[in-house]
Every structure is written in C-alpha cells, then in structure tokens.
Chains A and B, each alone.
Chain A
C-alpha cells in the first residue's frame, strides 16, 4: 500500500502544475536578446519583486513567478512576467482583480488586453504581464509579437471559468466578473465566490454565486444566519432574505452545491427575476 502511495505521489508530482512550470521556456524573439538571468520568485520572495501587492497574489494561491528581460539593438526593452497560480481559477481570480473593464481587449490566451507599454493576458494557470520601455511607435506591434510567442509556449489557452456563463446576461457589465478566493463579503465562513456587476436603468447591483458541496453550502447558510442573528431552526434548500448589518438586505438562494444571490438591489420583483434567471443558468451548466 505504501509503495502504491509513493508511486502515485511521484506521478502526481511529475504531472502536476509544477511539471507544467518547468516545461515553460521563454521564447526566442527575432532581433531581441534575453538580458541576464531569468529571475524566479516563490511565495516567500514575491515581496522582493512586487512589494505590498504580493499579499493579494498570495491570496490567490500564487506558486511561482519567472521574469525575463529582452533587449534589442535600439536599446528598447521588454520585461515578461509569468505568474503561475495553483489553478486556472486562481489565475483568473488575480487577473479579474486587476482587469480594467473598459480596456482594449485582445484575442490572446484565455483573455488579454493592451494599454500603452503594457500587455496583460491570462492563459490556463498563468497570469502574464509584458512591460515595454523605449519601444516608441512600434510599441503595440512589439508587445503583440511577444505576447503571441509567450502564449504559444504556455500551452493550451484554456477558457474562462465555466460558471461565469451561468450569470444572467441582461444588464451585466462586460468584463466585470471576478473570482474572490477568500472571505467573500468580509466573512471568513463564506469561502470563495464569483461575482459580476450589473446596471439596469441607472440601478447598480451585484450578483454572486458560491460553489461548494451540499453540506458545506448548508454550513455556510447556517453560519450566515447565525452571524446576522436570523433565527432559522431548519436549514433547508430555498430562498433566504438576510438583513446583513454591513451590506444591507441580501437575497439569496441555496440549491444543491450552489448558493447564488443579489447585493444592493432593493426592488423585490427584480430580485426574484434575477434569482430565477440565475437558477436557469446554473441548471443549464449542469
């Protein structure tokens, strides 16, 4: 039995994310040379590279960062940062925290966007940032060329978390979806959640969904009710209206492995409509 476990452990280790990371090679780019050594940062040393911002990356199960700098003869440079997170969902989480909803989006990796002197994209468990310096009028062209090569070397581009397709489309702000890895709504018992921002006739609100197993969902509902001093003897699947002292009235629904709900929306009929739409979306996902 011990031998089996050991062999399995070795296989998992070799085929796990660590192996993927070791497979990644910074690409060769025509007319550009890599300058110096590739720098590697792990959770304990990430502060050395991105200082206080490291804390947020660590919350999204950051595993490793590799940094390469390229130079050309015109003394322009491009720095490529490849952050690897535990899973594609964690990588999406940190990407979604930093994504600018009105950015100039590109078809690169799972999703990406470009601004002056910076191109950012997500692909699988990787979150990639390319910064350019002294690239002049060719800035965009250069960044795109680099990004394509880097994306190719990072393998399958994957796709955005499938649960995002369950969010109702009507009123949803493009590219506002986020993954919150811990302490959703400021409560440690609420683990992780996906959220999206909405706006309908000037009314802004937020939808969310938590995915876990049935027992865990029940436990979360129970703790939330206790926290908000809402008396409920039998916790059953269905609709709950919670008077949250910090967030106001929250309407949510628990069914199986999902808890979904609405924040910041006073109109009761609209709440019901959106909870129903969400339910339909989650049904389709199954």
Chain B
C-alpha cells in the first residue's frame, strides 16, 4: 500500500504538479519546419509539424468541415494552404463527405489529406457498444464514406467519439480497422474522443493499433493538465496528435472564445500537438487561421486575454508563479491552487490529497500571517483557499479512495 502511494505521488509530482499543470508552457524546440507555400498567389511561410509515426507533414491548422455546406469555403481553404480536411459520415448525413468529394475532383491526390470517421450503435449512458456494433457494420461504413467522397482511400479513418477504454479496445472495431488498413481503404487509423480523453488516449496507446488520436483540448478545459499528459505519452509512443474544440470548447463548456487566435496558439504551444482542426464558416476566420499557421507564438497581450477568460470561474490558477516570491512562508501556492481545483472543479479528492501530501507542507498553513501579502495576478483570494484545501491532509486516504 505504501509503495503504491509513493509511486503515485511521485508520478503526480513529475507530471501534474510539474510540467503538465502549467497554463503557459516554456518555449522549446518544437521540431517543426517552415515551408514556403503559394497561398492564392501570395507567398507565405507556414509552420509544419509531423503527425507522429504516420510521417504526414501538416500545417499547424487544418479544416474541420462539419459546420459548412459551402464548397467555395473549402476550396479557398485548400488554395490558401490548408492541407487536411476532416469530416465524418454523420455530418449532414453523408452530404458533408459528398460536398468535399465535389471540391476534391481534379485535385492531385497527394495535394490534400482527408480524414473521416464512423461509429456504431452504443449505449449512451455507459459509452459501451451494443450487440448491433459488429465488424461488418463498421466495414460497411468505410465503403459508404469512400463512395460519398468519390475516393479509393482516405488518409485517416477514425473510430469516432469514444469515451470509454473498453470501447476504444472493442474487438470487432479493432479487427475492422486492421482490415480497412490492410485493404488500403485507409492509410492510417485513428480514434476520436470528446470526453474522458485521458482514459481513451491511454487505451489508444495500449492498443498499439491506432496511428492518430483526435482529441478535445483547449485552455478552458478543466482537466487540460491530464489531457496534456495523456497526449504527451501518446506522442512519445509515436501516435499522431490532432487537436479539436480549440475554439468552441467541448462538452460542458461555454462555446464562446473572445480571442480566437490566442485560443489556437494556446493549443499549439504544446510540443505534443501536431495540428489542430478548426470548424470555420467564414473567410475572415480563414485569415485568422493563416496568420496563426505562420506564427503560432503567443504574444503577451494574447496571454493576458486568455488569463482573463480562464480565471472568470475563480478555480483555475494560471501558473504565473508571481505569488511564490510574495508569500513569506514560501508556500507552493500554484500547487495548492491546483489541489483546490481538483477538489472543487474536478471533485477528484484522490488527486487533491496526493498533491497536497506530496508538497511536504508545515503543520500550520496560512494561519500565522496577520494579513496575506499575496496579490494573485488573476485575483484569487489565495489564503482562505489554501486553509480550506490543506484540511484534506487529515482525511484517511482509504476513505477518499
């Protein structure tokens, strides 16, 4: 028991309490290349990253086509430098694939990358497949998609919308994906997840089958640190990582972002993120994306915008670490704020307790200063939050677990 606890604490310290929990990541060498692209007659320099072991080189932003039935928007995106189009059979009941097929007619097959996806009947409450979910049914889906698209193969075929490990590893679909790849109907296979992403991503790693993961990931996500750690492990395993919901958010999130470019750049600051798909519906938005494709580095103003937006709920420490110098007791305030977030944001008391215990805090915490001199950059009243969350040390871990 003790051994297990120490291991888990060490893990927490090395991941969540360390790199993963930072809101802004330090700039490091991203292993990316710059390509000069003819974007509608204008020479532009776009950042390209490699999609893991697939070896596919993609610009930092590509197009999720689900929101538009406007073929000219897709044409302009492709002509401007977007390379990958992401669709699904379920979007507009196959008509989205049909529209893309029309746009692609006459374009060299190696000039674009196409990704589509399918899922089978499952129990919406448990996320587990029902008996109608057969290998044959999944194989039929890919044929339908190829027919809609008018293509002989797609580049990535995704197992769509999975939020349970058991479903990610569902044998009939894994067998179907292997057959699809072997038959040359898809160059690579992947999995998409909008909820419970870390569990699904870990299952994708364990399967040793999936080449690509398409996951929700954005700055407003309460559990972005866990998603970040999961995609880091997946990228380390050679899996290509595609981000989505960078702007609109996903399940349970407010679908409004004030600074679109900043939201995209926040995702792209992660070295494990290979590209993002965005579901734009206007030509104006394409121009925002093109600018980010040229320079995905967050400016100071953009960082401030994101901090303002994310701190509204009063739970998410930005990890600026300015408080560390202000606290006379040198308390690890960002870590304590994260423990507070685990407790009240995620309701994950195990994570919270592990983190608090790993910090080797003094017995009396935040009880002896007359007035707290810490001025949090996003306005947290840190002292009461700290006093509140450290109480978790006293709760028996068996009770929490």
Contact = CB atoms under 8 A, between A and B. Distances in A.
A53 B91 contact: yes
A123 B104 CA distance: 36
Interface in B176-216: 192, 194-195
A37 to B, nearest CB: 9
A97 B69 contact: yes
For chain B, give the interface size range. 35 or more
Given A39-B124, A48-B251, A56 B70 contact: no
B283 A51 contact: no
Interface in A92-127: 97-100
Given A39-B124, A52-B88, A183 B282 contact: yes
Contact of B92 (A45, A97, A183, A186): A97
Contact of B124 (A49, A133, A183, A247): A49
B281 A186 contact: yes
Contacts of B192: 51-52
B72 A186 contact: yes
Interface in B149-187: 160-161
A134 interface: yes
A55 B67 contact: yes
A218 interface: no
B67 A98 contact: no
Given A45-B252, A48-B195, A98-B95, A53 B70 contact: no
Given A59-B67, A100-B95, A188 B160 contact: no
A133 B67 contact: no
B370 to A, nearest CB: 43
A160 B375 CA distance: 59
Contact of A133 (B94, B121, B195, B283): B121
Contacts of A85: none
Interface string A34-72: 001001000111011111110110110000000100000
Contacts of B322: none
A157 interface: no
A18 to B, nearest CB: 20
A182 interface: yes
B66 interface: yes
A185 interface: yes
Given A67-B124, A188-B282, A55 B194 contact: no
B160 A44 contact: no
Contacts of B332: none
B253 interface: yes
Contacts of A185: 70, 72
B258 interface: no
A36 B125 contact: yes
B125 A53 contact: no
B132 interface: yes
A187 interface: yes
B56 interface: no
Interface string B132-150: 1000000000000000000
Contacts of A186: 68, 70, 72-73, 76, 281-283
A131 B120 CA distance: 13
Contacts of B95: 97-98, 100
Contacts of A51: 160-161, 192, 194
Contact of B72 (A44, A134, A180, A246): A246
B254 interface: yes
B128 interface: no
Contact of A56 (B67, B124, B161, B253): B67
B283 A52 contact: no
Contacts of B253: 44
Contacts of B121: 131, 133
A107 B132 CA distance: 30
Interface in B89-105: 90-95
A166 B90 CA distance: 31
B260 to A, nearest CB: 12
Nearest to A44: B252
Nearest to B86: A52
A47 B73 contact: no
A133 B132 contact: yes
A53 B124 contact: no
Given A45-B251, A100-B95, A53 B90 contact: yes
A131 B250 CA distance: 25
B248 interface: yes
Nearest to A37: B125
A48 B164 CA distance: 12
Contacts of A178: 69
B252 A55 contact: no
B279 interface: yes
A187 B283 contact: yes
Contacts of A182: 281
Interface in A127-155: 131, 133-134
B255 interface: yes
Contacts of B195: 47-48
Contacts of A246: 72-73, 75-76, 283
B394 interface: no
A47 B250 contact: yes
B152 to A, nearest CB: 24
B244 interface: yes
Contacts of B75: 246
Contacts of A56: 66-67, 91-92
A187 B76 CA distance: 13
A183 B281 contact: yes
Contacts of B160: 51
Which of A45, A49, A183: most chain B CB closer than 10 A? A183
B64 interface: yes
A207 to B, nearest CB: 15
B325 interface: no
Nearest to B277: A52
Counting chain B CB atoms within 10 Å of each CB, the highest count among A50, A52, A133, A183 belongs to A52
Given A48-B194, A97-B92, A247-B72, 15 more contacts: A36-B125, A44-B251, A45-B251, A47-B194, A51-B160, A55-B66, A56-B92, A131-B121, A133-B130, A183-B281, A186-B70, A186-B72, A186-B283, A187-B282, A246-B75
5 contacts: A53-B88, A53-B90, A55-B67, A55-B279, A67-B124
